[in-house]
Amino acid sequence: MGKNGAKARLYDAFAASGKALASGKRLELLDLLAQGERTVDALAKAAGLNLTTASAHLQALKQAGFVTTRREGVRIHYRLSGEDVGELLVLLRKVAERHQAAVPPALDAYLGRDGAREVGNDELRALAEAGEVVVLDVRPAEEYLAGHIPGALSIPVGELADRLDELPSDTEVVVYCRGEYCVLAYDAVRLLSARGRQAVRLNDGMLEWRLAELPVTRGAAA
């Protein structure tokens, strides 16, 4: 095989990775797996897919090398094949937001971005260490257990309205969820603000926090 043929094979191999990402549902599955390992059943439910469709998407991602599996009895557990897959997901979303005109209005429609105050990772760490804020994780409980910001409380957003008394009323709450484009934190801040609480968002989320190699606690809070 000549140089031109070898080059064609190389670029076709690169293109296969791009093809595996050419599905909104596959990107959503990667986003879910960036929070921790999950079974096919759990992924299908979280992504609103039937098992057959979810399995087909996961097989495409596996063939491209983006996810890997382990078997436990009859259950198959999926996880990202490396942190670089999470980095790719973050970069893809940022590039799309900057260069694809359809993305910003779609984000506004989905997130309901309202100009509410946000804090960055460094500011959050300083405020938390000084005891000036409560850090609130509003992801599903299984994602919190898989890894969360040290000291964060876990109240899934769907339970927040009924569990407000678990939060101090005189302390600002910093809310985070899966990542920069996760709607759960936006919904939680709106709910807290409507109930008279001081609430702000972390401008990233658990994925970006972990990729920045910041401390992560696994399991239930002490």
Point out the residues that are catalytic: 177
DSSP string, 89-152: HHHHHHHHHHH-TTHHHHHHHHH------EE-HHHHHHHHHTT-EEEEE-S-HHHHHH-B-TT-
Please count the residues of the chain: 222
Residue 116 identity? A
Helix axis angle for 103-111 and 83-99, nearest 10°, is: 110
> Nearest CA to 201 among 168, 169, 179, 170?
179
Phi, psi of 68 (to 5 degrees): -135, 170
- Reduced to 3 DSSP states, what percent helix, strand and coil does the chain have, rounded to the nearest 5? 55, 15, 30
CA 125/CA 129 separation, integer angstroms = 6
Tokens of 117: 């105050």
